[in-house]
Structure 1
Amino acid sequence: MPLLIVVVGIILLLILIMALKLNTFISLLIVSFVVALMLGMPLENIVKTVETGLGGTLGHLALIFGLGAMLGKLIADSGGAQRIAMTLVNKFGEKRIQWAVVVASFIIGIALFFEVGLVLLIPIVFAIARELKVSVLFLGIPMATALSVTHGFLPPHPGPTVIAGEYGANIGEVLLYGFIIAIPTVIIAGPLFTKLARKLVPDSFTRVGNIASLGEQKTFKIEDTPGFGISVFTAMLPVILMAIATIISLMQKTMNFHEGHFIKIVEFIGDASTAMIISLLVAVYTMGIRRNIPMQNIMDSCSTAIANIGMMLLIIGGGGAFKQVLIDGGVGDYVAKLFEGSSMSPILLAWLIAAILRISLGSATVAALTTAGLVIPLLGQTDVNLALVVLATGAGSLIASHVNDAGFWMFKEYFNLSMKETFATWTLLETIISVCGLVFVLFISLFV
């Protein structure tokens, strides 16, 4: 019965969002209340459960998410992202242009959320394609791959960050293993998959893209942008701080160092929230003050970034409320009993549930959060590495993006593709990322 109720809840969510065109946040709240009632939760507990789920999820994520949005906006508004992209294009040269786009998108993708990175990089990709007389899709697939992989696997992006918080995983370990998984996945789903896509839908590579909807783009003269080194350093700083803290922490555990003040200071600086605050302050200086940009302009960029993510935060909070209803309503425990004594790996189960929910719901973040509600009770029965469960959930939540996902339509419209061509490029690309992610997670699980 509990799983049947979850299915009914998901169908209701699809009807509210797709048929009635209701806002995703409002839809998630309605479904949370309806599912709670159907599960027979005491009336006096339902509102408390929804508030706990919403507050608990946002309490962990809002600080990282908000600071990350501001950091990315400062790098974009200063021309730092354009400097990174154009410098790499010049360094790699025309023959290796795809690899230049991959590396640039990967670096920029760490600092910017998927949709923001897409909107920022697409005009740059179009300009490069026009100049070199190559297909926009030839560069667009590697770009979208790098952005999607960073979005699915690497903190401080909302998906892996919030799932790490829900599972109680070490966010530094998620970052470290995420990098190990992300690099080969980007290579397979980016430049290598482009060759296959060219054979599957050759006509799509002759299309002239359409970015009129993006409006007039802010372009910079290269001499007016921050230096390449400082732009990369600023974009990568949160990752560098978290990675250093994780490596030192792992060394301390394996070599049995005494956990003195130094280790505690390193762990404090490497905490995701602290790393983001430090990185934002560095960006205010490197991308603003150092370049004589008035503080008012710098703060305007920060304010705009926060305004742009307000609804996304509420949607994530709504997903957290639904997740909490599944836990408090006993669905998670039911799933745990169902798989008691089962030999199925929690890694595989998390990927499978996330994949089914992603195909059903469209939103990768909502799919990942709902998966957490079903998988958390299972984790107490196993000694599986929690960071790998986070990455498996993230991989599953990326699979088979189709008509119920905003990313599908963005990719289709910007690259001027037919429905068939979008399925053969974007949907297949996301599926390859998801499957590669799972395979590499299972491989790493053999050693950790």
Structure 2
Amino acid sequence: MIVLHTAIAIVGVVLLILVTRVDPVIALVVGSLYLGLTGGLGFDGTIKAVAEGFGDIMAEVGLLIGFGVLLGSLLHAMGALQKLVELLMRGLGPRKIPHVLGVVLSTVFPSIYVDVQLVLAAPLARAAAPKMGRHGLAMMGGSLTAGILVGYVFVVPGLGTVAIAGLLDLPLGAMLGYGFVLGPITVVLTMLIYGWLLKRGFWNAAKDESAIEFPEPPEAEAPVRRLPPLPVSLLPIVVPLLLIATGAITEAAGVESSVLAFLGDPVFALFVGLLGSYLLARRTLGRDRVAESMSTGFNSTGQILLITGVGGSLGAVIGKTGLEDVLGGFFSAEAGVPVVVTILLAWLVAAVLHLAIGSISVAAITAAGILAPIMGGLDVPPAVLGLAIGSGALFALHVNSNFFWMFQTMLGVTTRGALKALTFVTALASVVSLVLVSALSFVV
């Protein structure tokens, strides 16, 4: 019966979000309460499991998410993304820019909100498209899709990656290493396949591109002082990644040093990045604009933390109901389920949730919450399972996501064009990354 009640709880969460448009936070709490009460935890046990699950996940990723969002907000205010793309455009030329831009977005800027990345990069994509021939807009749209969203689920400190790592109790250093390899490869392979399809008639400009003429963007408010050069602007994100990577490498090498462990701790590393970006922004933008940017980051952080926290609550309730033993026996190697099949099932859980809910982060968090209690009994490396969840959560972003409509409007494509440059590209990237994750499972 516990399997049935768990299925009802998960389907109920999906229907609440999708059909009745209930906020994901409320839907996840309702699902957690239902499962706890029907799973035999009782009133007191259910509330305790919900609260403990929330607290446990906040202890794991609360500061990481908060620091990452604030860091991204300050990088946005200093114009780091705009300057980087403009530099790439001048140095590489328009024909190479889609592939390079996708890789850069997926590796350098995951700390910036996906919506903000889209807002910043869309005008640059539209400006570059006419110089690239008849498929220019399609290629640039695919580049933004692959770069922004692959980075979100695979690369630290992307919020999807951090949430999955926290729920599955994965070392961020390991996720950083795998993500920095898997993310760019996924982007490049996706863009190559997508570009090959475009050359064979996949895109029809007359039907896939809108005739909207975009007004010239207003001039940005002049900064109080001159903005820092690009290498300096990127230091607040590069330094934390180097610290985390150093910590992971020294740990893997068996080096025991409390100083190196402290410096490589992800919380400290991201705080260093936040502190650096804050001081840099104060020096170049002035106190008032920094305060405004920080306020924007604080407002965004609350919603993300609540969704992540109640995702942890659902996982805690599942862990208390005994479902672990049932599913663990089904997924385990002793039950005859190959590792690749386990990866496929994890991918499928996240993919179905994303198709239904329309939110990559909620799908990833919910899938991780479902699988976290049984992870110890699976014959799959934990990091590989986390990557499989991220891969599935990426699958086919479509019309039930606000990002879809932002993409359509800001890129100047029709709904049909968005289904090709966004929905199809995310589905393609998800399948490509699934193959890569499956291959990775044989070597780790």
Q: Deviations over 1:70-104 (max 9, x none)?
A: 11111111122211111111111233232343244
Letter in 2 for 1:330: G
SS, match of residue 111 in structure 1 = coil
Distance apart, 1:220 and its partner CA: 7.3
Tell me which residue corresponds to 1:118. 118
Distance 1:44 1:430 in 2: 42
Tell me which residue corresponds to 1:439. 435
Residue 310 of structure 1 is aligned with which of 298, 302, 305?
302
User: Which structure 2 residues correspond to residues 260-299 of structure 1 after superposition, within 5 A?
Assistant: 263-289=257-283, 291=284, 293-299=285-291
> Would the aligned equivalents of 1:107 and 1:235 in 2 still touch at CA under 8 Å?
no
Tell me which residue corresponds to 1:344. 338
Distance 1:382 1:104 in 2: 34
Q: Deviations over 1:347-377 (max 9, x none)?
A: 3332232222222322222222222333234
> Would the aligned equivalents of 2:141 and 2:421 in 1 still touch at CA under 8 Å?
no
> Would the aligned equivalents of 1:9 and 1:35 in 2 still touch at CA under 8 Å?
yes
Distance apart, 1:2 and its partner CA: 2.8
2:425 equivalent to 1:429: yes
Tell me which residue corresponds to 1:403. 399
> Would the aligned equivalents of 2:129 and 2:137 in 1 still touch at CA under 8 Å?
yes
Distance 1:41 1:209 in 2: 56
Unmatched 5+ stretches in structure 1: none
Distance apart, 1:277 and its partner CA: 0.4
Letter in 1 for 2:382: L
Q: Deviations over 1:285-328 (max 9, x none)?
A: 33432x3x323432331122111232222222222222222222
Tell me which residue corresponds to 1:151. 152
Tell me which residue corresponds to 2:228. 226
Tell me which residue corresponds to 1:83. 83
Tell me which residue corresponds to 1:19. 19
User: Which structure 2 residues correspond to residues 169-180 of structure 1 after superposition, within 5 A?
Assistant: 169-180=170-181
Q: Give the number of equivalent residue pairs.
A: 436
Distance 1:348 1:149 in 2: 18
Distance apart, 1:191 and its partner CA: 5.0
Letter in 1 for 2:52: T
Distance 1:126 1:52 in 2: 47
Distance 1:306 1:82 in 2: 23
User: Which structure 2 residues correspond to residues 197-236 of structure 1 after superposition, within 5 A?
Assistant: 197=198, 199-203=201-205, 206-208=209-211, 218=220, 224-236=226-238
Letter in 2 for 1:98: P
> Would the aligned equivalents of 2:123 and 2:410 in 1 still touch at CA under 8 Å?
no
Tell me which residue corresponds to 2:109. 109
Distance apart, 1:112 and its partner CA: 0.9
> Would the aligned equivalents of 1:123 and 1:217 in 2 still touch at CA under 8 Å?
no
Letter in 2 for 1:301: S
Letter in 2 for 1:188: L
Calculate the TM-score normalised by the size of structure 2.
Answer: 0.89
Tell me which residue corresponds to 2:143. 142
Q: Which moved more, 1:95-104 or 1:319-328?
A: 95-104
The sequence identity of aligned pairs, in percent, is 27
> Would the aligned equivalents of 2:208 and 2:415 in 1 still touch at CA under 8 Å?
no
Distance apart, 1:386 and its partner CA: 1.6
Distance 1:84 1:123 in 2: 14
> Would the aligned equivalents of 2:209 and 2:412 in 1 still touch at CA under 8 Å?
no
Calculate the TM-score normalised by the size of structure 1.
Answer: 0.88
Distance apart, 1:404 and its partner CA: 2.8
Letter in 1 for 2:329: K
Letter in 2 for 1:351: W
SS, match of residue 109 in structure 2 = helix
Tell me which residue corresponds to 1:185. 186
Tell me which residue corresponds to 1:391. 387
User: Which structure 2 residues correspond to residues 249-268 of structure 1 after superposition, within 5 A?
Assistant: 249-250=251-252, 252-253=253-254, 257=255, 259=256, 263-268=257-262
Distance apart, 1:194 and its partner CA: 3.6
Distance 2:313 2:219 in 1: 38
Q: Deviations over 1:221-271 (max 9, x none)?
A: 9x9532122223333222222112212222x23xxx5x2xxx322222122
Distance apart, 1:201 and its partner CA: 3.0
> Would the aligned equivalents of 1:54 and 1:320 in 2 still touch at CA under 8 Å?
yes
Distance apart, 1:175 and its partner CA: 0.7
Distance apart, 1:108 and its partner CA: 4.6
SS, match of residue 94 in structure 2 = coil
Tell me which residue corresponds to 2:318. 326
Distance 1:379 1:24 in 2: 24
- What is the CA RMSD across the aligned residues, in angstroms? 2.8
Q: Which moved more, 1:353-362 or 1:72-81?
A: 353-362
Tell me which residue corresponds to 1:40. 40
Tell me which residue corresponds to 1:376. 372
Distance 1:225 1:32 in 2: 47
